[in-house]
């Protein structure tokens, strides 16, 4: 009986040992995890002490919980003032980010040290999840497929060279003819359907870039290329703004990217449109190369250079698509801001009209030859670009290729470094009463003028070697179009049914990186009968001149048909 009893006790002893081992393993795992957390948090605190001022980060989440639900650039501006430092550190998860909030510090770091701040940081959402960055290793053999997100190196130089061949400062002057004609068409369209002014601006901006890229103009506001381009660009802009909801939360917890989009579609929502855009732009470029091989357009250049540089399909797609990023959504948004400024600050218009009437008259619209004499109009354009800059946080972030120092603080290699254009352009020191639209700021003899670290007086297009490639095209088109619309119309607030003016809100803007005004009604009234006749005459002539670029795109139709079937 004793033997039987002893044998019956063996399983319970074995179970006890197994249970104890399990507890030991679990305790060891917990201890290892806590130890790793302590070591990692110690690393964060060491960096926090060495880097520019910022709120104390928490373990794992850093300062992500402090991010506002919208317009974080305003929060960073306020935080910079509170900490009394133009350069601040803010932790997105376990990674520090640098935010530069005044013009002089931005110039010192991003312009004067352009060679150091020439690279990009790891961008999980905007770059890796959309296939534009293949690796977080800055020395990777595959630095990415897109100039915008590419790490600094030899492949970046190839893409930059090819981009300059399309929209570099030496090239854009060649586009003045059709850019001017498309601008004349805007005035013509506003004369007949002024309520569609947003659609007219989008058509114009998309058409100019489409002619450069594919030798095909966009003649209708209903052309599907407009909706696709604007949607892709705005979605890309949304994926560039720090946030604490999906998909931007991937920046805080990159490990979540290993989850399956099929099992967790709500996490990956919004990324498909960015991927679809890559296919769309390659289809446009390939079609242009086949249909108009002898015509001078950017797509033909890319396919001609393909063997020399070994360009992949995704690289051709990104180079072609970046034309739209440089000049479609941004240019149309700038023109909408121009209209908002006219409605909100009508007191600045008479001075513009006086100069236009003196230099140009009513019998024709402004031309490029008038530019040197249109001093106030050029100041007006600069104030449009300053007052509500489209790329409100200066485009994509920079990253130093080596450890750097600012005012005794360390900025480690690879750190996400962002210029806060909103804060820079709303600094009271450089721009007193910054929310007031005041072109006099850019007149040298004006008491409102203030020193600025660059000759332009604004930082709308970024800095250093990562400055926007389409800057020349955008500035050129904005000048001629703003000059023409100021010459042509009295742009005013709309009236309600009782005949009272409908107020406009100068702070009602979208939340994306490329911000634009929320929709608002307005009026476009020709300034004289003679001007109305000139608009009609020049508009009809412009449409005749642009006829050489007319044509349908079979690939666009096929693309949208296929995507509807797959949806």
For the CA atoms of 294, 297, 299, 303, what is the dihedral angle to 10 degrees? 50
The answer to whether residue 324 sits within a structural domain is yes
pLDDT in tens, 18-27: 778 888 878 8
122 pLDDT more than 70: yes
The answer to whether residue 16 sits within a structural domain is no
Provide the CATH number for the domain around residue 285: 1.10.630.10
1 pLDDT more than 50: no
The answer to whether residue 111 sits within a structural domain is no
The predicted model gives 398-407 an average pLDDT of 97
216 pLDDT more than 80: yes
pTM: 0.90
- Say if residues 380 and 21 touch (Cβ distance below 8 Å): no
95 pLDDT more than 50: yes
The answer to whether residue 322 sits within a structural domain is yes
Phi, psi of 214 (to 5 degrees): -135, 5
Share of the chain above pLDDT 70, in %: 88
Rounded CA separation 495/91 (Å)? 47
The answer to whether residue 82 sits within a structural domain is no
Residue whose structure tokens are 């570099």: 168
Least confident of 109-113, 288-292, 310-314, 521-525: 288-292
Local confidence band at 555 (pLDDT 50, 70, 90 cut-offs): low
Rounded CA separation 394/546 (Å)? 34
Least confident of 11-20, 408-417, 482-491: 11-20
The answer to whether residue 109 sits within a structural domain is no
- Say if residues 418 and 393 touch (Cβ distance below 8 Å): yes
- Say if residues 76 and 53 touch (Cβ distance below 8 Å): no
Local confidence band at 277 (pLDDT 50, 70, 90 cut-offs): low
Closest of 122, 114, 167, 116 to residue 144, by C-alpha: 122
Domain count within the chain: 1
Least confident of 14-18, 144-148, 188-192, 428-432: 14-18
Local confidence band at 566 (pLDDT 50, 70, 90 cut-offs): low
Residue whose structure tokens are 């470094």: 417
Of the two residues 325 and 53, the one the predictor is more confident about is 53
Average pLDDT over the chain, rounded to an integer: 88
Domain that holds residue 337: 154-566
CB atoms within 10 A of CB 27: 10
The answer to whether residue 127 sits within a structural domain is no
169 pLDDT more than 70: yes
Known binding residue 468? Answer is: yes
Least confident of 213-227, 237-251, 389-403: 237-251
Closest of 158, 88, 36 to residue 409, by C-alpha: 88
The answer to whether residue 54 sits within a structural domain is no
Predicted pLDDT of residue 279? 79
Local confidence band at 256 (pLDDT 50, 70, 90 cut-offs): confident
pLDDT in tens, 305-361: 999 999 999 999 999 988 887 667 789 999 999 999 999 999 999 999 999 999 999
C-alpha separations of 519 from 31, 195, 197, 506 in Å = 56, 11, 10, 11
């Amino acid at each position: 009986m004793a033997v039987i009893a002893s044998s019956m006790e063996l399983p319970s002893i074995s179970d006890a040992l197994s249970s104890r081992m399990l507890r030991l393993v679990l305790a060891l795992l917990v201890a290892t995890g806590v130890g790793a957390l302590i070591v990692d948090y110690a690393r964060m605190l060491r960096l926090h002490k060495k880097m520019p001022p910022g709120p104390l980060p928490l373990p794992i989440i850093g300062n992500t919980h402090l991010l506002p639900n919208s317009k974080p650039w305003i929060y960073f501006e306020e935080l910079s003032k509170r900490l009394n430092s133009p350069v601040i550190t803010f932790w997105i998860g376990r990674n520090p980010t640098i935010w530069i909030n005044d013009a002089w510090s931005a110039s010192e770091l991003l312009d004067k040290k352009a060679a150091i701040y020439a690279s990009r940081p790891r961008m999980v959402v905007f770059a890796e999840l959309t296939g534009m960055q293949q690796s977080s290793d800055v020395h990777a053999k595959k630095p990415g497929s897109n100039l915008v997100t590419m790490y600094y190196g030899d492949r970046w130089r190839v893409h930059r060279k090819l981009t300059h061949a399309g929209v570099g400062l030496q090239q854009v002057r060649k586009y003045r003819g059709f850019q001017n004609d498309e601008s004349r068409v805007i005035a013509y369209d506003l004369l007949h359907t002024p309520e569609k002014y947003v659609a007219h601006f989008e058509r114009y901006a998309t058409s100019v870039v489409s002619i450069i890229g594919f030798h095909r103009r966009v003649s209708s506001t209903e052309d599907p290329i407009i909706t696709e381009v604007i949607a892709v660009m705005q979605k890309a802009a949304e994926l560039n703004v720090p946030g604490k909801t999906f998909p931007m939360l991937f920046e805080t917890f990159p490990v979540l990217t290993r989850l399956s989009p099929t099992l967790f579609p709500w996490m990956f929502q919004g990324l498909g449109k960015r991927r679809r855009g890559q296919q769309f732009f390659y289809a446009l470029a390939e079609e242009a190369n086949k249909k108009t091989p002898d015509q001078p357009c950017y797509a033909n250049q890319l396919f001609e250079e393909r063997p020399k540089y070994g360009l992949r399909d995704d690289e051709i797609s990104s180079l072609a698509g970046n034309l739209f990023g440089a000049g479609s959504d941004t240019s149309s948004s700038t023109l909408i801001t121009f209209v908002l400024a006219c409605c909100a600050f009508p007191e600045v218009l008479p001075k513009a009209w006086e100069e236009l009437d003196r230099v140009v008259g009513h019998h024709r619209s402004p031309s490029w030859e008038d530019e040197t004499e249109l001093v106030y109009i050029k100041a007006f354009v600069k104030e449009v670009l300053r007052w509500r800059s489209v790329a409100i946080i200066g485009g994509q972030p920079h990253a130093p290729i080596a450890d750097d120092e600012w005012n005794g603080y360390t900025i480690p290699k690879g750190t996400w470094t962002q210029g806060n254009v909103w804060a820079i352009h709303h600094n009271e020191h450089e721009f007193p009463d910054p929310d007031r639209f005041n072109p006099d700021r850019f007149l040298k003899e004006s008491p409102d003028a203030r020193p600025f670290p660059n000759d332009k007086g604004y930082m709308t297009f970024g800095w250093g070697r990562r400055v926007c490639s389409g800057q020349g095209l955008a500035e050129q088109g904005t000048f001629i179009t703003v000059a023409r619309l100021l010459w042509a119309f009295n742009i005013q607030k709309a009236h309600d049914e009782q005949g009272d003016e409908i107020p406009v809100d100068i702070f009602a803007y979208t939340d994306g990186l490329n911000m634009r005004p929320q929709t608002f009604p307005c009026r476009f009234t020709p300034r004289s009968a003679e001007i109305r006749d000139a608009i009609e005459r020049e508009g009809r002539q412009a449409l005749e001149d642009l006829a050489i670029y007319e044509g349908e795109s079979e690939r666009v139709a096929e693309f949208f048909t296929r995507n509807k079937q797959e949806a």
